[in-house]
A and B are shown apart, each in its own frame.
Chain A
Amino acid sequence: MTLAGLSDLLVGPFVEFGFMRRALAGCLALSLSAPPLGVFLMLRRMSLMSEAMSHAILPGAAAGFLVAGLSLPAMTLGGLIAGLAVALAAGFVTRSTVLKEDASLAAFYLISLAGGVFLVSLRGSQIDLLHILFGTVLALDDDALTLLGGISSLTLVALAALYRPLVIECVDPLFLRTVGRVGGPVHSAFLALVVINLVGGFQALGTLLAVGLMLLPAIAARFWAADLSGLIPVSMLISMLASVTGLLVSYHAGIRLPTGPAIVLAAGALYLVSMLVGPRGGLLHRLVRRRHLEA
């Protein structure tokens, strides 16, 4: 293939079409903020918790949809309220009662999810539901892009501010409790960031797939880097690569391949490759027994 052909294949769609540029900008913004959160979720063994949170957002988005139709501000606000309510309620029950975090979160997100499905079925057809579930990455308007950019900036600034207490809270929560009172607020703020990013992601990828761009790059990064200073940038890079690949594959595919799933499938493919060949505990490196060291 010639260089010009390659450039047509890789760059052409973005040069030619505004909606592709918008989709790219939105996904890159999300790629900067969601994967670092995924890294912390993975390291805290809370990977599945983000899945639960994405379900918790659904009724809020549905309520917004019921009130105002397919309106971005209404659905975003609804999703934020539902997600934050579930996160804070679960956090409160965890700290105040005998329940562990996974159990209290499961209880609240199931209530929230059932409420959401109920609300959606009150009005609207299957197609509307698909919009909420699978997003519309190729139809990001100015408002949606502003929202994604704002969420991305807010997340990065907040993560930088929370970084030290968040790491201590992950490593040794008891220690943080004995030296101060920031543990609870830091944990809540972290969950709030997760919710905000899932709500942002659901504009582009849908509620269920937004989790994909948060977690898959973080989990894949685990096979390439050992500590946080490596995991976070690697996860961002993998997420960006998945976004570009997904957009291009979806654009060039002969059949109609929805963009949201294409991006998450690209992230999934990158995960599988990392899992096989990644130097930090990847499958192939485990199979090869290397000569041991002297000391």
Chain B
Amino acid sequence: MSAIRFRGLTLGYDRHPAVHHLDGTVAAGDLLALVGPNGAGKSTLLKGIVGEVGALDGAIETGTKAIAYLPQAAEIDRSFPVSVLDLAAMGLWRPFGAWASLKRHRPKLLDALAAVGLTGFEDRPIGTLSGGQFQRALFARLILQDARLILLDEPFTGIDERTTADLLALIRGWHREGRTVVAALHDLHQVRAHFPSTLVLARRPIAWGPTAEVLSPPVLARALALSEAWDEAAAICRHEAAPAAAHDHHDHHHHHAHGHAGHGAAP
């Protein structure tokens, strides 16, 4: 069973692709790390899955609409006077909506805060939290969202070791519960230690499969060779329309991409 299926997916901005011709499936229950240099399209791919960025070409199929998503730079207004408990309680939006009372569910909210180590913080305004405490509060909200598919965009950037370890433990717990987790990460040591499968992205997919096989020096060297600059004069990509021989005439190297993306279905 697949949680996410990419079919010839191209995502981008202003017709310039940021994720180029991605094919493959994320198996249900997978714990997948998304690895690649800055500008590789990791965030764009996650935004594409939640529908924040529209596909330029191809499609994304997700089994569920109930996706929990933690963006890299949240658009959260931390000066707005709501409490930590209120922030976490937003995670219950889907089942409770605009009107249902949350009063009887306060223990559940407090449990979620306890699970991220924020017991006693429930009435603190969110503006008074440190960066790490705030990230913990956002994870409490993720817990309450109770989603089968969880997307995390660089969840540990600027977060200290202890908090990272606590939050990684939560992620492993979600994995044990059979939830599908996709996380964009930069710390390869962390990826090797905790994530069974990895997708290396450098706009086009470089490699996708079991972490131990995928995170090899040649693959990483290829990913790092990514040029971040857009070619303003780039020709229109004729990937679909062109016959196989035409691939030699443009510089996207799709044959590489397709060769590796095929591993996508591996658990």
Contacts and interface: CB of A to CB of B under 8 A. Distances in A.
Interface of A: 43-44, 161-165, 167-168, 170-180, 182, 226-228, 231
Contacts of B75: 172-174
Given A178-B67, A179-B94, 10 more contacts: A43-B77, A164-B99, A170-B77, A170-B80, A171-B80, A171-B87, A174-B52, A175-B74, A178-B50, A228-B82
B210 interface: no
Interface in B92-112: 93-94, 98-99
B208 interface: no
Interface residues of B, number: 27
Nearest to A176: B93
B76 A171 contact: yes
A194 B171 CA distance: 43
B81 interface: yes
B80 A165 contact: no
B94 A43 contact: no
Interface string B68-92: 0101001111011111001100100
A161 B98 CA distance: 7
Query: At the interface, is chain A mostly helix, strand, loop or mixed?
Result: helix
Contacts of B79: 43
Contacts of B98: 161-165, 182
Contacts of A231: 81
Contacts of B83: 227
Given A174-B71, A177-B52, A161 B99 contact: yes
B82 A175 contact: no
A227 B81 CA distance: 5
Given A162-B98, A165-B98, A179 B93 contact: yes
A171 B145 contact: no
B8 interface: no
B74 A174 contact: yes
A227 B67 CA distance: 30
Contacts of A44: 77
B125 interface: yes
Contact of B94 (A171, A180, A226): A180
B93 A180 contact: yes
A226 B93 contact: no
A81 B99 CA distance: 30
A44 B126 CA distance: 15
Nearest to B93: A179
Contact of B81 (A177, A179, A226): A226
A168 B93 contact: yes
Interface string B26-52: 000000000000000000000000111
Nearest to B141: A175
Nearest to A186: B98
Nearest to A39: B81
Contacts of B125: 226-227
Contacts of A228: 81-82
Contacts of B77: 43-44, 170-172
A43 B52 contact: no
A168 B99 contact: no
Nearest to A40: B80
B221 to A, nearest CB: 35
A174 B67 CA distance: 13
A43 B80 contact: yes
A226 B81 CA distance: 7
Nearest to A165: B98
A169 B145 CA distance: 17
B125 to A, nearest CB: 7
**Considering residues A161, A164, A176, which has the most beta carbons from chain B within 10 angstroms of its beta carbon?**
A164
A4 B204 CA distance: 85
16 contacts: A44-B77, A161-B98, A164-B98, A168-B90, A171-B77, A171-B87, A172-B74, A172-B76, A172-B77, A175-B76, A175-B141, A182-B98, A226-B125, A227-B82, A227-B125, A228-B82
